[in-house]
Structure 1
Amino acid sequence: MVAPKYQEIADRLRDQIGSGALAPGDRLPSEPELIAEHQASRNTVRLAIALLTNQGLVVTRQGLGTFVLEPAKPFTALLSRVDMPPTNQYESTAMPVVGPAESEPQTVRFLVESAPASASVAEKLEIAAGDPVIIRRSQQYLDDAPWMIINSYFPMDIASGTALEQAGKVEQGTNRLLADLGHEQVGFTDEIGARMPDTPEFDYFQPPTGTPVIVVNRTSYSSERPIRLTRYIYRGDRVRLVHEQGRIPEKYRTA
């Protein structure tokens, strides 16, 4: 399916912003320049700029032009710290759905690829930006509606030549496989934030304009190093994340 012209323009500008070719504070090409460069109508160019604006990437200042925004630098609030290891370190660490869904999540798309690590992925995995990683991508539906995007990133020296490079579910489970490879998971950290969806996320979730996505960055560790980064991405108005700790009476537990 061919993307609309305005989306192509927005994608190209977004790529330039992501690569640093258009840095924070830089002015985007003017409307006439974009019209000439892309052989597009004024309305098409304005739709592209509106899309980037809704995604929080640019801002238009009357009489001055459209400028790249400085990415927000969020503060960190520690919700809890639990030093006890999981009851079974080989169980899935994916967050379960506790209600009110009428069915189990269904994976509708599963892709595996090798790609250079972005700066944010490299930071979590303690590798250099641009180093190759194995990425396992999946999309899940719940009650016939888009529910979640899961992207897992593995350092190449761990994943190369293993079942992690193959599409589909890992038969023995990812945690067990990592342990068998000498990288037993001993814990993980979750960082939860919100941002505007990028184009693939918007196409998948089809949210109302202005609806953010909730992103959970889960970094898993062995006793020596980070071994996996998993990003759980949800449509912001369709998820509620709950943390429970301690001996909560059964009737007060989330269900």
Structure 2
Amino acid sequence: MGLRPLAPGLVILAAFLLVAILAPVIAPYDPVLQDPLARLQPPSLAHIFGTDNFGRDIFSRVLHACRVDLQMAIIGVVFPFLIGTVVGSLAGFFGGIIDLCVMRLIDIVLAFPFLVLMLSIIVILGQGLTSFYVAMALVGWVSYARLIRAQILVLKTTDYAMAATSLGFSKMRILFKHLLPNAVAGSLVFSMSDAVLVLLSGAAISYLGLGVQPPTAEWGVMVAEAQGFVTQAWWITLFPGLSIVLLAFGFSLLGDAMGEVMGVHE
């Protein structure tokens, strides 16, 4: 039952990864090349996804944008995952003042709406992908920290954890070799759903002009640039929008499959 969404999820993500790698080879045109004579052309044999208001080939831009958006989804999850895992593990295992400080810090971060806090950090740091990654790391780690902390609190009372303590193993060995590998399953499953959130957040930030900057091809930027032409050139927003939905769907399917296989329910 749990394996049913695994194959389509892997196929979708593998396809996007392949497109990202081969984009310079597959794309028939330069993604930033403007052709005023080819403005707002509908899908055709020459431009299978049509052209935008600058005469740029949308198919080529969608392919190249895949590299940026896939990078955002992966990097935007990796750093919060690593930070949250380490911080949550230490808080749950050692407790006391460490746990108190971590939980109060988590409460402070969660007191602000996610997107508002993200935007505030990016505005302070400046536009660009680097600022986006920093903002995601500073905001996104709290969910992983809470998940790991809760698992560690349960696992450190198990028989094998107490046996490791009675054998004289160091606390760091008990935590990172015996407890953490058994506690990380829930976070791995959550990371797939989080990748969807990161992808949508990245597109939204770029749409607002604070993420990837034109003329770089990025799906959120493409939708933002096309908002004034939706009624007369539907294809400009359709294809980058579908790309966002399809990649997010792939991550969701993989997350569902992982949750069933690992016996984790979000």
**TM-score, length basis structure 1:** 0.26
Q: Which has the higher contact order (CA 8 A, sep 6+)?
A: 2
**TM-score, length basis structure 2:** 0.25
Structure whose CA Rg is larger = 2
Q: 1 or 2, which has the higher helix percentage? A: 2
